[in-house]
Amino acid sequence: MSLAQRRILLGVSGGIAAYKSCELVRRLREQGAEVRVVMTAGAGHFVGAATFQALSGQPVRSSLWDESAEAAMGHIELARWAERILIAPASADAIAKLAHGHADDLLTTLCLASAAPLYLAPAMNQQMWAHPAVQANLALLRQRGVRVLGPAAGEQACGDVGSGRMLEPHELRDALAASFGGGALAGLEVVVSAGPTFEDIDPVRFIGNRSSGKMGFAVAQAAAEAGARVTLVAGPVSLATPPGVACRVDVRSAAQMQAAVLDACAQAQIYIGAAAVGDYRPAEVAERKLKKQAGAELVLKLTENPDILGSLSAQAAHPFLVGFAAETHDVARYAQDKLQRKGLDMIAANRAWLIANEGSAAARVQQARDAAVQRLAQVVAGQRTQVEQAVAALDPAILQGDRAMLLAALRARLPQARQLDVYSGSLSEVVHANFREFGYAKAAQLMAAQTDDGLPPVQSVAHGAGDRRLSLVMPLGPPQQAQAWLWVELPFAPVQQAFEGISPAGGRLDLRQGDVNVDMRILAHGSPAAEVEAGAKAVPGSTFSVAAALPMAFIVLPRSWPLAALLALAGLGAGLYLLWWRLRRRELSSAGQDQDIDIEEFKLSQETDQAPAPSKPVSAHVPAPAATPAAPVAVDPSIFRAYDIRGVVGKTLNVDVARLLGQSIGALMREQGLAEIVVGRDGRLSGPELAGALADGLRAAGVDVIDLGAVPTPVVYFATYHYNTGCGVAVTGSHNPPDYNGFKIVIGGQTLSEGAIQDLYRRIAENALERGGEGSLRQVDVLPDYLERIVSDVQAERRLKVVVDCGNGIPGAVAPQVLAGIGCEVIPLYCEVDGTFPNHHPDPSDPHNLEDLILAVRQTGADLGVAFDGDGDRLGVVTRAGEIIFPDRLLMLFARDVLARQPGATIIYDVKCTGHLKGQILEAGGSPLMWRTGHSLIKGKMRETGAELAGEMSGHFFFKERWYGFDDGIYAGARLMEILAGDLEERTPEEIFATLPKGVSTPELKIELAEGEHYRFMERFRAQVDFGDATLITIDGVRADWPDGWGLVRASNTTPVLVLRFDADNPDALARIQQTFRAQLLAVDPALKLPF
């Protein structure tokens, strides 16, 4: 149901669940809603106003005393503007104020001043939720028509388990959408019964059944989403009230359910009897618990329960009645009999044995889980025993001696150990360690060992992608008075082999680490489509647990509420006309106009009503385009560049070229046995049609396409890992003008460059393309996963205020959320995505494009400012003082941080970086390596050398350490905030940047030439140049190095320009080097217009 152009006022009160409200704003805006946010003072302690401003695109209000807003009675204007008011989270304090009419802040004042329907999404500790005062306040609000959504039950932030969790953002969004009506059941009252009934035998025992109530609750939600006002009569179940349900009545027995249903149906038009009502109840209920008597049989006299459906159908005027039948055989006959016997209007029948078969399949997977737990416990115990035996074999004298000798003795006995460390019995060196360098997980495991009653549990630690190890802590000496603690890292392979050696029995087994209720999955084995059970089973002696994911093949009554809703609506829709016909006949009869219905007219109206409205599905399978004879298409070879494909739309690039390129990429993939690819695009106006044509070509080549929509280029790279495709194309013009667009391509995990890109052109030129394939197309939203992956790993230890300039590029849809998510206060600048780039060119390497950012940082008093290019793979940084921190100096800071954890690692930089960078990397204990400019060339060199970090003067940064090794300006910005905010001396960003050496340098200088002329010039320049005693580096252009500075000229691979840069120790040296280059350049082409 759409929220297009609906006006939602979101109130956010104080509570940890406020972080969910950020996601709620995004979900609402996805559905087309206009959202304005009002925060209480308490909410500001959990989420910053800048975050909501970035997500909503509207100013955030929090005070009644905002003079600029209240000069025009702003709170009254907001109260009149809103169509719905939702407070999420609604704290106990906010609920109390609303219940008693207190209006001491902007939010409560708005609620009293507005006629808009008010919705509350409570979020609080389970004890607070259960308190009589809170329940009394909610009862009072419900009487006044306030709708209460939730709460859900589960584990809470405080560690308690129970009711009080705020509903998930998508549930709240759906409830608001349903509140606007307009669905198939709009204006109707619907009563749904669900769950079992319990019939008491005595005060302790009862007769009941295993009904979970899930189907009935799903039906209730479906009816609400279809626009009905729903009353849910629920038996004893532990399910949260579905979003959008107007009223819930909880009952226990069949008699109570009958009374509640008859009362609710007095004004209803539809009754859906989905409850599993007990057929019989004890004739008498014992006042005391019945005692067991040896040798005596217990005889219960049962009496028949009331027939709820039968009592309704006996009424002269009753609602449209829907019943259910679960039978083991002769399903159709028994269902038809029940339909007639009970006077129903419609019945849903299903085979009970299929449900039983589901239980059997689930049991098999659960048995596999138990077997995996047992096998893993044996492996863990075996690994521990090996370490214990090695420690036991040590000479006691060594424990008191030199630590190096102790480690050497242990290594001799544990040759398989990947790492061994010994720490003092007090662990004082761990307590005072810098945990960011030492490792949080390692420190936590060591310190927990001091307080563990038994042996410290075994767990695992990750050292980058593909390198997980088993870690355990062993006391040297008695555990209560340990002389020292041994840290051991062993290969993880035995655990992985044991886990993968257990058959998942048609489902899936997940190996987790941490609390059994936390889904920190480290391995999975089995069907990806299986649905995981809540909780997991712990592996003794470790922090591991195994969860069972059940196969979906036998599900008749879906666990998925959206799917159950779809099925329920399909059934209800079939009977909707019958209901309408009955109501219409009553109206006509009462008016003396009993006429026949024109069936042809009705069919025509049905066809009109069912005409599909245009919409963009979140996930869809679209038929592959039909193969058509290929018409000759002229493809300009100049767009196939060194490390991507790029041209001017309408001149060298169009949809025909994009389609051919898709076929060429598809042919390459098919040769390599690759079948699936992700495709994303930036915010340029030509993006949708070029991406669509590219996808058509890929699918015609038989390749399945995952459409990511409009996302930054790094998100496309991320999706190749996240969806395990290894292949992706970003349709982007990067930092180029609006009329440019292009393609960055990853195949088999490698970014294509040079010869591989020319091979794509060769295939097109020779017509060596794949055709006639039937690849699929599905659309997914990967942004939440990208955001979660970053914020779960990167955190700013103190709150930095940062201005984010996205230059109206696609990073505006992501970067502010990422930086806010890691703990920064974000001030967005030009974050609205606009492919015409109306404010400035999206290229942070040009200082002119940073002028507005520098001004914004000064005016707002921010700590610093960051800027991104048009597709988000470049980063620019400015300080509060207006200084531009060039990327080569940022790379110094990143190198220090990475090398603190990865000593000796290779750090790659391009030919445009300062000569000071090499010395900084060496001083930090790294291995510096200069390489050619170009994102794909740098990534190729990283794979070849195993480098942990790389960077380019253009602002591309490539983190392999803790990330995936691709260039990502947004992630680099997050890592920068982590470094600056985590400084142990709490220095300002300017003070930290001041520690990075700098000389006198120029930014990138550019000389524009005709297309292709810049390459020809460099050939002549390289042949004629003479720089005397300078050291020449010609891996990419010509770089001349002197002891006091250097200069560079190279041909750009993205636009037809010569790129120059100069760097020196002092102004005189810089002027000398520039003059030397000036003479050499003009000697080759006297007509050059030099920018220096």
As given in the structure block, the two tokens for residue 201 are 């035998």
Beta bridge partners of residue 521, listed in sequence order: 512
Q: Minimal CA–CA distance to 219: which of 234, 208, 209?
A: 234
Distance of CA 367 to the CA centre of its chain: 32
Distance between CA 234 and CA 260 in Å, rounded?
A: 10
Distance between CA 1052 and CA 800 in Å, rounded?
A: 36
Residue 295 φ/ψ, nearest 5 degrees: 80, -5
Strand-pair category, 468-476 with 459-462: antiparallel
Calculate the dihedral angle through the C-alpha atoms of 565, 568, 569, 575, rounding to the nearest 10 degrees.
-170
Please confirm, yes or no, whether 734 is among the known catalytic residues: yes
Selected catalytic residue, list 734, 936, 954, 1001: 734
Q: Minimal CA–CA distance to 226: which of 186, 187, 175?
A: 186
Distance of CA 1076 to the CA centre of its chain: 53
Q: Minimal CA–CA distance to 749: which of 878, 939, 607, 932?
A: 939
765 Cβ contact partners less than 8 Å away, ≥ 6 residues apart: 635, 637
Distance between CA 516 and CA 535 in Å, rounded?
A: 6
DSSP label of 800: P
Q: Minimal CA–CA distance to 1036: which of 1017, 1015, 1057, 1050?
A: 1050
CB 349 within 8 A of CB 330: no
SS (H, E, C) 227-248: CCEEEEEECCCCCCCCCCCCEE
SS (H, E, C) 759-790: HHHHHHHCCCCCCCCCCCEEECCCHHHHHHHH
Instruction: Please return the burial class of 171, using the count of CB atoms within 10 Å of its CB with bins 0-12, 13-18 and 19+.
Output: buried
DSSP label of 150: -
Sign, Cα dihedral of 76, 81, 83, 84:
negative
CB 1078 within 8 A of CB 1062: no
CB 333 within 8 A of CB 341: no
Distance between CA 116 and CA 965 in Å, rounded?
A: 50
Name the residue with tokens 């690692």: 905
CB 1001 within 8 A of CB 886: yes
Residue 298 φ/ψ, nearest 5 degrees: -95, 120
Name the residue with tokens 């979660």: 788
The DSSP result for 943-991, as a single string, is HHHT-SEEE-TTS-EEE-TTS-SSB-HHHHHHHHHHHHHT-TT---HHH
Distance between CA 909 and CA 917 in Å, rounded?
A: 8
Report the SS3 class of residue 719: helix
Instruction: Please return the burial class of 667, using the count of CB atoms within 10 Å of its CB with bins 0-12, 13-18 and 19+.
Output: buried
Report the SS3 class of residue 270: strand
Report the SS3 class of residue 93: helix
CB 634 within 8 A of CB 660: no
Distance between CA 1001 and CA 1073 in Å, rounded?
A: 11
Active site residues: 734
